[in-house]
Structure 1
Amino acid sequence: MFTGKTSRMAWAIFSGSTWWRWEAGTILAGVGTAVAYAFQGWENWPLAASGGICTLMAIVLPVVQARKATAEAKRVNEAAAVEARIAAQTALGNEKRRLSRLLEPLAKELIHLTHAAHRDPADVRRRLKFMVVQTVAPKLADGVRVSFFKLQKHTITPSRVLVCDGISDGRDGHPSTTFPLGEDHGDFMLNYMSNSTNAPLFVANVRNPPPHIKSPPEWLSGACGYETFVAAPVLSKRDLLGMLTLDSERQGALVEEDAETLALIACLLAVGLQAAGRK
């Protein structure tokens, strides 16, 4: 058994300066225990040595196991980081291929339509809009509707309104929501779409939109018929021609990356409409 003085010495060793390494602490513990046993009588030195060795093993083994566990955790974390990088690179590659499959045929069709001879410009513009929505819709998730909202202007009054003119695909029916000047939601949408520096609009849940978005009544009541809404402006220089929209009946079917893709398509459509207007 430890004497009172010996116990105080051992406690002083282990509770002292924090710069002691675990290895030094382990060795001192074993030696101190062996000495403590030996103080009881040198004739019992085999028993003292055995006690010291047992004590040493009792301290060393947990330390070794802890180090092994730390090394294994580090290895697992490194492997997880590598897998995460590979997954991110794979996702990026898939997104690039998806954009290429979507935009390349779209660009070719735009060039073909805008350079077709002896076509009425108004007919070309309408064909361009239909071609865009019909090309994009099959590439998206099931039930996602693609629509073109044209900007209607009145020649006598300054009234303006964004309204779907029957050009949509991906789901039966056309969007019934309009965005007229003079109403909060219409003023917001017209101003937002007219600003070329704005990012495409992404509303994950139309029943609970971000505070800065002015919602049409149909969104809050659910009468609009969709849960998620995405919009990107079709701008010719700084003139708003309309907007392309995506909407889905199911939350989660559209993500912010879809909004970025829609913005690229809207830019292509704007170039095509501008070219058709010069015919």
Structure 2
Amino acid sequence: MDKRSVFKSWWLPTAFAAPQLLLIFLFFYWPAVSVVKWAFTLEPPFGGAAEFVGWANFVEVFADPLYWSSVTVSLIFAFCGASVAILIGLVLALAVDRELPGSDLFRFVYILPFAIAGPAAGMAFRFILSPERGLLAPLNALYPDFWNPAKYSAHALILVIIIFIWKWAGYTFIFLLAGLQSVPRSLLEAASMDGSGPIRRAIDIQVPLLAPTLFFLLVTMMTEGFVGSDTFGIVERTTGGGPNHGTEVMVLRIVNEAFQGLNYSGASAQSIVLIGLIMIFTFIQFRFIEKRVHYK
């Protein structure tokens, strides 16, 4: 039986843990407490005494129709981006897992987009899908305004979702490929000998065994779609929340409210509501979806 290592003095483990504890306090607990405090006070933008206003900041936020528009946009962005990225990652992982000639090259190509920063991807797709000079420009020449993200909010929302999917499909591909490689090859060989094709083997054997990985990706991708740095970077660099607030996701609205409008109290209230929404969706996922996940 292994003996447990014990420090002979209290100051040595404290010294080792102090830098990490200091970072956690400075970058997690202190901001979190400040956000809660600001949400219930009227915080002056240039310093001074804060006035306690109770729930007034939340009442003001909920009375703003543009805020509810940002909630709707965030829900569409998170659900569509997460589900399609997972689906594409699953298809790519199933294809590469067959180890056909050139599979190693395709693994590198599929993972590469995830290494690109969200704002850089947004800037690139602004040119790739530009209505004047992009890939859809010939269709716009035949059918004016067939694709115009600068004019139509629905087109702009589709654009930022496409960029998010393009970048994060590689992330889901990594986990799903790792999960597929843990599936016993004997099961696939037995199914193949029974006459099952690749699609039937994927539906009946591989995908059910990937349930824990799919559930993990669902929770992770939904959270990233709501509050991820790439979500903010893609939308801010590509559309800036426009046109007509059509792509103004909640995280972008919070940043603009705080650093452009200098409304720290309103931004803090919106942050707490956003955290509450994430907690609700995470609870729903663990409460109802995890029941269908089998870990053994």
TM-score (norm 1): 0.27
More helix by share: 2
Name the structure, 1 or 2, with higher relative contact order (CA <8 Å, separation 6+).
2
Task: Name the structure where strand makes up a greater proportion of residues.
Answer: 1
